[in-house]
Amino acid sequence: MLSTMINNVFPKTNITEDQKKQFNSELIDTNFIRSRNLSILLLFVITVLLFTDYLNHNKGLLEGDVGYRLLFYSHLFHVIAILLAFLSGISFDSNKSGGKQRFVTVFSYLTLIGSTIVSTADQYMNGQITVFVLVSFLFAIINYQKLMFNMVMYTISYTIFIIGITYAQTNPNILRGHYINGTVIVILVVFLSRILYYAKVKDFSSRKTIEQQNSKLEKTNQELSLANKELYESLLALDESQNIIFTLTLTLESKDTNTHGHSERVAKYAMAIAKHLGLDNRDRVNLWRAAILHDIGKISIPDAILNKPSSLSEDEWAIMKSHPERGAEICSKLKFAREILPIIRYHHERYDGNGYPEGLKDEAIPFLARIVSIADTVDAMTSPRSYRSQPRTMEQAIEELKRCSGTQFDPALVETFIEVYG
């Protein structure tokens, strides 16, 4: 029954027998190149981490803390995994499809298992599962694999993950949250990998159809073919950007029970203000992207702080207040997000200069960041939170905006919001 439902959602694309061999070859080449590049990068990172392990050993942390010791073992495991992947590729001739597929399989399985060991070590030290979450989504995105390949891979890693955190985490509430989050993450990444694989098959089939048509009309359609290629590349780049936004937002909202649907609602409020102000299309796109990603820095905040039902301590609040800077740092690696970094970084600045992270005031705060600040605050007040029994009404939220106009918020934008929603 489950197989029938999946096939109804993702119907099989017709590929001829002659095309199947070429498709599989292209798929293996793509996966091999991405995995090889990632393995080289990972080897460099692990080398740096092993040096930090050496420093921790000199401080006596490896002998005195099981978390640091297990983290050291996980780094060694990753090095061994990468070496085994290269050896398996060489032994089966990495220039042929069999060797390339063996390399991808060994590297993917062992690296994902290694991430579960890191998350187990994190349980002893920080109570986090961030590495397992990020690596799971990473392999779902970079490798186009069949459903069975991913189901087996994630089932193995998920089993080890559950066993590891069960032994490492003593707090039953945190452990229960990790069980739920880990299960949701595995379901999401399997579903996401299925979507991307199907998209790859559909893309290949479409490309083959276009090639066949172009071979018949090559002389008369050269200019049209060039235009179609440019449009295809533009749409592909846009689609990849949307996939990144979708993946990052899903990761955050699966981690923090308080943020389910929050980003979309903030974007809704922000776009309503932008429409009322008549902002141009470029500002609207940047505002929408920033609103969707404004809280992405919370992905690196421990679950125990994000979902704490009571007031945060000073140290916990200091960690929570770091999320705008962490979010800007995460998004700085994304080419499409460069223009929205100031919005993400400064959406918690106050108009009177008492905000964070830099205490900007008045016009020094980016205009679009001031819009996100109002939209973010309104949704925070009118949505359920673990630390508050009842959300406020929109009327109460507007009264709070009026009270804080000129101190926390830009007075002109407060008036704009009231005109739209009052």
Catalytic residues: 298
Q: Please tell me the distance from the alpha carbon of residue 276 to that of residue 270, in angstroms, as a whole number.
A: 10
Number of H helices, E strands in the chain: 18, 0
Q: Are 253 and 266 in contact (CB under 8 A)?
A: no
The residue count for the chain: 422
Contacts for 153 with CB less than 8 Å, ≥ 6 apart: 108, 109, 112, 139, 145
What is 327-339 written as a DSSP string? HHHHHTT-GGGGG
Backbone φ and ψ for 311, nearest 5 degrees, come out as -65, 145
How far does CA 37 lie from the centroid of its chain? Answer: 20
| The pair of three-digit structure tokens given for residue 88, joined into one six-digit string | 């398996």
User: Comparing C-alpha atoms, which of 50, 92, 98 is closest to residue 71?
Assistant: 50
User: Comparing C-alpha atoms, which of 115, 126, 121, 132 is closest to residue 66?
Assistant: 121
User: Comparing C-alpha atoms, which of 177, 87, 196, 86 is closest to residue 139?
Assistant: 196
SS3 144: coil
SS3 414: helix
Backbone φ and ψ for 388, nearest 5 degrees, come out as -140, 135
